[in-house]
Amino acid sequence: MILKLNHLKVKAAATTQGVIEAVYALVEEGLIDQGQFARLQVELDWIQYKSNFREAVTATQGYNAFGQPAPIMDVHVDTRQVVPETLRGDLLRAIHRAQSGAEEDACRLPLEEFQSLRSSIVWKFNRFFWRHLLAWEAATGQGYDKALPGGSSDGHNPRAIADDVAEFLDLLCVLRSKNQLPAEVNLLEIGVGNGSRCAQWLDKFHELDQQRGTSLYPHVCFYMGDYSEDTLNKARLTVAKHIDQCRFVQVDAINPIKSLAHLRHKILQVHLTNVYDNLPDEEVVRRDGKLYFVQVRAYVPTAAVNSIGGKYGIPAELFRDRIYHMLEAGFDSFGGPQHGVPFWQELWAAMRLEERLVQLEDLPEFPFPDGLDAGKLEDILQDAPTDFRFHLSSGALESFIRTLPLLHPRGYMQVFDIFVTDLAQYRTGFFGPGKLDGSLLNWVNGALLKEVAQREGYDVHFRPFKYRANTHTSILYTTRRE
């Protein structure tokens, strides 16, 4: 057995001791056989999200592409949730469940087949959250940004904006001195929300432009991008006093160049805050020199099906259908959001993901995101730890790769988000998926983005977000590579 401690939080020592004792006891009692014990890898995580998709103990069996069990099994213990008194039972149940490979389990109502995390129903819930954000906020009585660490978006930080504006104005002055300033100074923000960052940014730029007498404000063309027209309409009101400098475009965050192809090589600054951490993702496990793709299946524990179903008058046999109906049609079948939203919130809190590992080289159809293929991944992993689990950050990577061609040769892109900046970091903590209000959250594999971007001709640097203490946010900063 290999025991891995992925954190140094409180209770680590006590829990570790408890896990070792419990596993040895199960072996001695013959409840785990010695072969199973030899290939067991137990990982102790501290899951920082109070609401997440894990049970206290989760076991994950490895498979080849033909559905035959491979000789690996991971057991994850969430040291935050675990209760010493039930640890032994939790361990035993989790291992037996994974070992038996049972498709049916009386304790769980599966909502889908095993599949890529990216295509799982949990992302339908994520989209549903953004579509029905107002209803969620009305029910909780607070804006979604209050759920963010620090209670507001780091993108709105006035000092960060002031520094950025000054840096950008310097760049424009350099370009002007070389007679290389474009007639239109294009900027793009993807995921503008209510538009308040754009408004603050333009306020500051106007002010500094006047102070320095550079007269560049009239040349500014600020493209405000969001997937939702309603959001853009709200943002339009927020930037009313800068309206002549603003353009409003519906943008798919995963494929920005699709709607902005006319701006290829013409944008001097691209900004995103907390967009990448909320884009569909996959996870990959590297074990014994092989790569395994993490497949997931969303489920609701039967106990939760019974309690939630009882409360909202939904029979267990119709529970799954009602969920899909809600995701498609909204809250009509609940008589409106008044009952529908509480059902949704309780359901989301109860929802879990079970996992299995499928060997990657047996998956020729593996949907690598744009910018990555098996060969490149192999190159990137050459210097990585030999035994670890990491995010592929598929959505973020595609978004990134499909945004970079928009950059002007002297332009830059900045992304405020939670990044894993070194692959080795994955061995020291849990990086998602977690739940944030009704949305999904994953740390972004910045190290992978960096390697892929380099092959595409861009340098990537990470700066700590110095404007708020104890933040996990860092700034990805990209420029053209020479």
Partner 1 sequence: MTLPILPTAIVGSYAMPGWLERLKTDYFARRISRHDLDEIYDAAVKAAIKDQETAGLDVITDGELRRDNMVDYFAERLPGVQIDRSSKKFYYDFYDSAVVGKLPMASMGLVQDFTFLNTFTDRVPKFCVTGPHCLTKRIRNQFYPSEEAFATDIARVMNMELKALVKAGATFIQIDEPYYSGFPEDLAWGVNVINTLVEGVDARIAVHICYGNRYGKPSWEGSYRYLFPTILKAKVQQLTLEFARRGGEDLDLFKEFNAPFELGLGVIDVKNTDIETPDMVAQHIRKALEVMPAERIHVLTDCGCFHLPRDVTFAKMKAMVEGTKIVRKELGK
Judged by CB under 8 A, which of 151, 218, 315, 457 binds partner 1? 457
Q: Taking contact as CB under 8 A, which single stretch among the options 56-64, 70-78, 172-180, 331-339 is the one that binds partner 1?
A: 172-180
**Can you tell me which residue has the tokens 């160049």?**
257
Neighbour-count burial for 437-468, b at 16+ CB within 10 Å, e otherwise: bbbbbbbbbbbbbbbbbeeeebebebeebebe
Beta partners for residue 188, in sequence order: 223, 270
Minimal distance in Å, beta carbon 402 to partner 1?
13
35 binds partner 1 (CB under 8 A): no
Tell me if 290 contacts partner 1 by CB under 8 A: no
Distance of CA 166 to the CA centre of its chain: 31
Is 409 near partner 1 (CB under 8 A)? yes
Distance CA 411, CA 269 (A): 6
Using the minimum distance from each CB to partner 1, give the nearer residue, 172 or 353: 172
Stretch that binds partner 1, among 116-124, 165-173, 293-301, 408-416 (CB under 8 A): 408-416
- Beta-strand runs (E) in 259-334: 267-273, 283-287, 290-301
455 touching partner 1, by CB under 8 A: yes
> Of the listed pieces 110-118, 130-138, 205-213, 455-463, which binds partner 1 according to CB under 8 A?
455-463
Of the two residues 232 and 377, which places its CB atom closer to partner 1 in the complex? Answer: 377
- 92-121: which residues touch partner 1 (CB under 8 A)? none
- Is residue 307 within the footprint of partner 1 (CB under 8 A)? no
Encoded tokens for 302:
């039967």
Q: Identify which range of 93-101, 165-173, 406-414, 461-469 contacts partner 1 by CB under 8 A.
A: 406-414
Does 176 help bind partner 1 (rule: CB under 8 A)? no
Q: How far is the CB of 409 from partner 1 (least distance, A)?
A: 5
| Residue 374 CB, nearest approach to partner 1 (Å) | 11
The C-alpha atoms of residue 122 and residue 114 are separated, in whole angstroms, by: 12
Give yes or no for residue 184 binding partner 1 (CB under 8 A).
no
482 counts as binding partner 1 under rule CB under 8 A: yes
3-state secondary structure of 322: helix
Q: Look up tokens 């013409």; give the residue.
A: 266
CB atoms within 10 A of CB 176: 13
Task: Please say which residue, 244 or 482, places its beta carbon nearer to partner 1.
Answer: 482
Strand 439-441 to strand 434-436: parallel, antiparallel, or no bridges (unpaired)? antiparallel
Q: Of the candidates 142, 230, 456, 464, which one interacts with partner 1 according to CB under 8 A? A: 456
The yes or no reply on residue 405 touching partner 1 (CB under 8 A) is yes
Compute the least distance from the CB of residue 452 to partner 1, in Å.
Answer: 12
Rounded to a whole number of angstroms, the minimum distance from the CB of residue 182 to partner 1 is 6
Hey, what amino acid is at 69?
Answer: P
Do 341 and 332 contact (CB within 8 A), yes or no?
no
Interface with partner 1 (CB under 8 A), residue from 86, 100, 142, 180: 180
Cis preceding-peptide flag for 433 (omega within 30 of 0):
yes
The answer to whether the beta carbons of residues 465 and 414 sit under 8 Å apart is no
Instruction: Give the largest Cα separation in the chain, rounded.
Output: 81
CB of 366 to partner 1, least distance (A): 17
Q: Which one of 454, 461, 464, 466 is in contact with partner 1 (CB under 8 A)?
A: 454
Residues in a beta bridge with 459: 479
Q: Whose Cβ is closer to partner 1: residue 44's or residue 172's?
A: 172
Name the residue nearer to partner 1 (CB basis): 111 or 377: 377
- Residue 229 interacts with partner 1 (CB under 8 A): yes or no: no
Segment lying near partner 1 (by CB under 8 A), choices 23-31, 67-75, 159-167, 448-456: 448-456
Could you give the strand order of the β-sheet that contains 246-250, starting from the edge strand earlier in sequence? 246-250, 220-226, 185-190, 267-273, 407-417, 474-480, 458-464
Helix ranges restricted to H, 352-477: 374-380, 394-401, 446-456
Contact indicator for 73, 59 with CB cutoff of 8 Å = yes
Question: Which stretch, 90-98, 179-187, 198-206, 215-223, contacts partner 1 (CB under 8 A)?
Answer: 179-187
Alpha carbon distance 395, 279 (integer Å): 5
| Sequence-ordered list of residues with C-beta below 8 angstroms from that of 352, at least 6 positions apart, any chain | 53, 54, 55, 108, 298, 299, 300, 301
Among 265, 461, 463, 466, binds partner 1 (CB under 8 A): 265
* Pairwise CA distance, residues 94 & 98, whole Å: 6
* Shortest spacing between CB 456 and partner 1, in angstroms: 6
* Residues composing the chain: 482
Q: Is 146 in the site for partner 1 (CB under 8 A)?
A: no
Buried-state track 284-321, b at ≥16 Cβ within 10 A, e below 16: bbbbeebbbbbbbbbbbbbebbeebbeebebeeeebbe
Q: Out of 375, 386, 469, 470, which residue is the one contacting partner 1 (CB under 8 A)?
A: 375
Size of interface with partner 1, in residues (CB under 8 A)? 20
Q: Answer yes or no whether residue 177 interacts with partner 1 by CB under 8 A.
A: no
364 is a contact residue toward partner 1 (CB under 8 A):
no
Asked if 258 touches partner 1 (CB under 8 A), the answer is no
**Residues contributing to the site for partner 1 (CB under 8 A):** 178-180, 182, 264-265, 375, 379, 405, 408-410, 454-458, 480-482
